[in-house]
Amino acid sequence: MNKPVRRIAIFTGALILSLLMQATWVQFVRGDELAGHEKNRRVAIAGFSQPRGNIIVGGRPVTGSTATDGDLKYKRTFTDGAMYAPVTGFSSQSFGSSYLEGVNDKLLGGADDRLLLQHPTDMLTGKKPRGGDVVTTIDPKAQKAAYEGLGDRKGAVVALDPRTGRILAAASTPSYDPSVFAGNTKKDQAAWEALQKDPDKPMNNRALRETYPPGSTFKIVTAAAALENGLYTDVDASTDSPDPWIMPGTVTRLPNQNPNAPCKNASLNVAMQNSCNTVYGKVGSDLGKDKLRGTAEKFGFNQEYFVPVRASKSTFPKDINKSQTAMAGIGQGSLTATPLQVAMMTAAIANDGKLMKPYMVEELRGPDLSTIEKHEPEQMSQAVSPELARKIQRMMEDTATKGTGKAALIDGVTVGGKTGTAERGKDQKNLAWFISYAKTSDGSPVAVAVMVDPDDSVPDDEISGGRLAGPIAKKVMRAVLDK
């Protein structure tokens, strides 16, 4: 072979080798990265090439799929979309997915490896598995009672089964219909942009992702801390609680919402019934930040949860003085909580102090209805002893029958309740809270937390947990009990 031909052969061989190396790099090293790239249209085409599996509530699907005219053949549909949006989230050809739609995207879309393992012949034939289903814990009657109870007001409701941690309802208002931007048309784009600009933020999940001062609902935790740490042992004995009471290190008097309430040296029980800030603020201050925070953390504060949707962390602050600890003792200051967290602490008291991990998915199943994964209830902590929890139950039940919690009473059922009015500072309306549980012969099947964020049409003197939030809690409990 002459010299020029040899050079051409070497050069051609080098080119072929570089092409092979590049092909190997693209297919095997960067294959997964390129396959999942947001600009890879083939991924979207494959993802919407068939109907998705469904999200199931009460034995019935609240989602579906409908054919389109584009290359993305199917788009998502939602039944009662606004009511279930805090649970299902959205699945959009243009904007991705969220909440249960996002967490279970591969299963619903048929790309979960567990679906292939169920039908190994599909791997040989190249047939794409149909999507599986997500079976939720949501009680449709409770969810409807929560959503309709909130109505056109801004707020949130969470209902739990204290015995298992099952989330029975998770409502947030105002809400949105995920169907309106499920496609990829100009109309879908406009609907999405309108929701992003809406000042009421309907896409915010107030039940799981937004935190607020819990107000006087937190007094059940402060009472638990006082009893657990031996500050007081008898809930009916007088406390050392002057009225008026000046917060430590300040000249500021801590006011009671009702100036005529019998709060001076009131027992923990009477102070719960009348929501006495002077009593529970001083209890918090006397306990100190570390003891109060320690009890709060047993109830779930300062932790992030996945239910499996991520829930925001509720925070009990670390670096606070005695005066600030007093404010934390009444659910104010820099203390914040999600409605889920407030429902969790209520459920723990109702369940004799045992806090169960909250969860929203009962089962994942294949398209042939076979079980792929089933959730088992899991205990998070023993927040307080059963004996101590029963003392707080009696206080909450006395609050429902004799005090500020009468709005949640149900004939023939033992109900515990507690109101809360949370201040948020200048130029902001107070929040109205209500927590409650109901007891039957089988224990407590439901605990509820309701938060209402009133608008300017509600006069300040009409903002109270009993008036605005209590009736909603009652409707949700009844929906569960009637079942």
Report the catalytic residues.
Answer: 216
Phi-psi map region of 58: left, alpha, beta (phi>0 left; psi -120 to 50 alpha): left
276 near 263, Cβ under 8 Å?
yes
**CA distance from start to end of the chain:** 91
Question: Degrees (nearest 5) of the Cα angle 312, 213, 252?
Answer: 145
Show the tokens assigned to 437: 């549980």
Answer whether 437's CB lies under 8 Å from 416's CB.
Answer: yes
* CA–CA–CA angle 193, 104, 195 (5° rounding): 10
Among residues 128, 134, 141, 127, the alpha carbon closest in space to that of 171 is found at: 141
